[in-house]
A and B are shown apart, each in its own frame.
Chain A
Amino acid sequence: MSDTIRITIDQTTVQAAAGSTILQAAREAGISIPTICYHDHCTANGLCRICVVEVEGARTLQPACVVQIRDGMVIHTRSERVIRSRRTIFELLASTVDLSESPEIQAMIHEYHADVYRYPDAETRLPAVIDDNPMYIRDYAKCILCWRCVQVCAEDAQYTYAINFSGRGYETQISTFYEIPMPESTCVFCGQCVGVCPTGALKPKRQWLLEMGYTPDEIMNLTRSQRQRRKRREEISANPS
């Protein structure tokens, strides 16, 4: 095959399809590289840097999810530098957000011997749960800013553009326009954001209520008025007179 190239991953030389990313090539070779923000159906932005690997000749570590392989590339996926970065990023994350509903991340934290209590001064993110619509809740204390929800709401899937960001840096949070309640935004309640959320920050309202101990009947009663209000609003907008 003319469009395969040779690369070396962790001392093993393998053939890989030209144009593939380091992550894809490694998977083909049976080497697993951890990821957090990466999702097969979303644009990869190289945000979380958990997938960084050492590429010989490169000054900094390289995000495997977006960097394409080159002929003769020599890659180390578990060098000392790589392990230090991954472990530190896990520790940063654990000191910032509530990972209690992120079993995959917890398993990686365990695997990398990351100390979740490493940073005693850490100001954790603790915004209140936003419960402003009958379909899903937003618990941004669990949000790891992987951007998937923003992306599927925009060009990655729905072209609805209901959400973007507020603040910047450590203060960044996912937000509607001027933080308006979701029903007042352009949200069409397609649920795609809930589907791609990896940490339980976005959760179906029913699931949330069940977890809090409400029975299905109680939940029907709790959400009935919201559903009726929504129906009325739709009738009014369809027939303004």
Chain B
Amino acid sequence: MSELDLSPLLHRLESYHSQGRTALLPALHDAQQLYGYIPKPAAEAIAQALNVPLAEVFGVIEFYSLFYSQPVGKTVIHICNDPACALAGSETLFKQIRFHQEASPADSPQSALTIEMAPCLGLCEHAPAALVQGQPIARADRQTWQDLVSGKGERPSSVLGGTVSILTANCGLGHTVELSEYLDLGGYQALRKALRTPPRQIIEEIKAAGLVGRGGAAFPTGLKWEAAADAPSEVKYVVCNADEAEPGTFKDRVLMEDDPHSILEGMLIAGYAIGAQKGYIYIRGEYWFPYQAMKNAVEEAREAGFLGSNILDTEFNFEIEIRRGAGAYICGEETALFESIEGKRGFPRLKPPFPTTQGLFGKPTVINNVETLANVPVIIRKGASHYRKLGTEKSPGSKLFCLSGDVVRPGLYEVPFGIPFHHLLFDLAGGVRPGHHFQAALFGGAAGAFATTDHLNVRLTFEDLKEAGLPLGSGVITVFDETRDLRDICLRLARFFAEESCGKCYPCQMGTQRQFEIMERIVRGEIHKEDWERLQDVGWTMTDSSLCGLGQTAASAILSAMKHFPHLFQTV
């Protein structure tokens, strides 16, 4: 340890000093970038600089899967192991890499590899996907072993489809839309208009548009903004939840990479409407390119006067800071995300109090998903009634759907609410892969539920899906043809939750593990007749009694599989 040179870290820590604990994750990212992992002396230096107890710094390092407290290989490779990538052969890919590694001479660079199975990397339309030193690789099975290990490979592009392009109007151009181009395309017109409008009227417009959250919970955005605007406090925050990690979801990745300014514009309007002066964008640690795109956009916006003081010569001041997660699905839960920004383990908080009264740093906070914020400039620019021309009465506007799995054209589809599922699947996405037919689709990701052939005619709206017992969630649809064993999919989802449970409340901490163990045995073909009741009891206990949304939905897909395909879980 004596040879560890702390000076570059200490230099970086100087800029964090005044921030205190909230700079803990950024400082840990720096240390890991410098040393490949977080050596004990580096953790001690960080603890001292930020005035955080040593044991708590260690607790934070240990919570996030992308932080390492022990040395790792010079190159770290993550292979996605969740449904869409598994269908595309990620397990074979993982074994091949392992095989090559083991066959390499001990002193070769390949032996200095750390290879890990990872939860969904948000690259489902490019399955099987990998991260090499944090850089995404599309179709990793098509790369040679040498290229893969050295990080060469196809960079994931945006694959777009659908019948409208409103949220995705500036996406799929093959590059990130920078400020000048965004302005040419009519960007920041909505902000100009908003700043000439009383804040309350903005909130009324969002309410009139009927916009609801696109992160999965579908809470009315206008009501959220109103509650935060009404909360008495000088300091308020807007947080953009870009911790997109629901298996099968990649919409926010595309929006951030292709059209980052539309999200900033949405945040600025939200900030103005509720009386906030500061915003945070929390981007999952696995999203390197979206992070770069958002970072550049914030710098451009600051330079051009769209961020800072007296924006567009008004009284309105607003700043945006970007934070990176470090490998924890739970941080997509709003209060866990706040904890993470505050420099803590991502434990969800008890609610109430709700974020609109006591959110980030205990202040009134509006937290919105990326796609939700991208809707805001659209609504403000053309008005709520124009926005409502698309979609249905209860589900106005357009929606992004992430299609992956056994589908001919996986990708991001923007469609008006209300089209039937079969139209999206067969007419727009080309249907199930050739020679096969539809068995099931997972709606809403790991926290979702299975649709069957009975659901092909369901209209894609909040109200229709709710009636059909399917969650719209974040817009995930993972398709499975008749050759797939859904028990294997259930096992993957069970493993995902067992690995991503934060461990705070008992039902989820232990229930996700028991559910995983039982599924593992069922997939081996050893089904006990008691398993049905075991899975039901564990599942309903997590659903009924867990502290947060993660635990409350950790059994959702398996319970729905048991309902629609009971024979898979029963002895013959």
Interface residues of A (CB under 8 A from B): 45-50, 52, 60-61, 63, 66, 81, 84-85, 87-89, 91-93, 95-96, 118-123, 145, 154, 161-172, 175-178, 185-186
Interface size class of B (residues with CB under 8 A): 35 or more
* Chain B residue, CB-CB nearest to A185: B55
What residues of chain A lie closer than 8 Å to B207, measured between beta carbons?
Answer: none
> How distant is the Cα of A152 from the Cα of B403 in the complex, in angstroms?
49
What residues of chain B lie closer than 8 Å to A45, measured between beta carbons?
Answer: 350, 504
* Chain B residue, CB-CB nearest to A47: B505
> How distant is the Cα of A83 from the Cα of B547 in the complex, in angstroms?
17
Min C-beta distance of B425 to chain A, whole Å: 31
> How distant is the Cα of A119 from the Cα of B530 in the complex, in angstroms?
10
Chain A contact residues: helix, strand, loop or mixed: loop
Question: A84–B538 contact, CB under 8 A?
Answer: no
Min C-beta distance of A227 to chain B, whole Å: 25
Known contacts A46-B350, A166-B62, A178-B69: A172-B503 contact under CB 8 Å: yes
Question: B506–A49 contact, CB under 8 A?
Answer: yes
Question: A48–B520 contact, CB under 8 A?
Answer: no
Question: B503–A169 contact, CB under 8 A?
Answer: yes
Question: A123–B545 contact, CB under 8 A?
Answer: no
Question: B62–A167 contact, CB under 8 A?
Answer: yes
Min C-beta distance of B219 to chain A, whole Å: 13
What residues of chain B lie closer than 8 Å to A186, measured between beta carbons?
Answer: 53-55
Mask: chain B, 160-191; 1 = CB below 8 Å from A; 0 = not: 00000000000000000000000000000000
Question: A164–B58 contact, CB under 8 A?
Answer: yes
What residues of chain A lie closer than 8 Å to B547, measured between beta carbons?
Answer: 46-47, 49, 63
* Chain B residue, CB-CB nearest to A172: B503
* Chain B residue, CB-CB nearest to A178: B40
> How distant is the Cα of A145 from the Cα of B507 in the complex, in angstroms?
12
Min C-beta distance of B545 to chain A, whole Å: 4
Question: A95–B514 contact, CB under 8 A?
Answer: yes
Q: Does B501 contact A (CB under 8 A)?
A: yes
Question: A84–B501 contact, CB under 8 A?
Answer: no
Question: A66–B538 contact, CB under 8 A?
Answer: no
What residues of chain A lie closer than 8 Å to B507, measured between beta carbons?
Answer: 49, 85, 88-89, 92
Known: A169-B500, A177-B58, A178-B69. 13 other contacts (CB 8 A): A48-B506, A50-B506, A60-B552, A88-B540, A93-B506, A93-B510, A96-B513, A167-B62, A168-B501, A170-B510, A170-B512, A186-B53, A186-B54
Question: B512–A169 contact, CB under 8 A?
Answer: yes
Other-chain contact of B541, A85, A96, A169 (Cβ < 8 Å) = A85
Other-chain contact of B55, A46, A66, A92, A161 (Cβ < 8 Å) = A161
Question: B544–A81 contact, CB under 8 A?
Answer: yes
> How distant is the Cα of A180 from the Cα of B513 in the complex, in angstroms?
28
What residues of chain A lie closer than 8 Å to B59, measured between beta carbons?
Answer: 164-166, 175
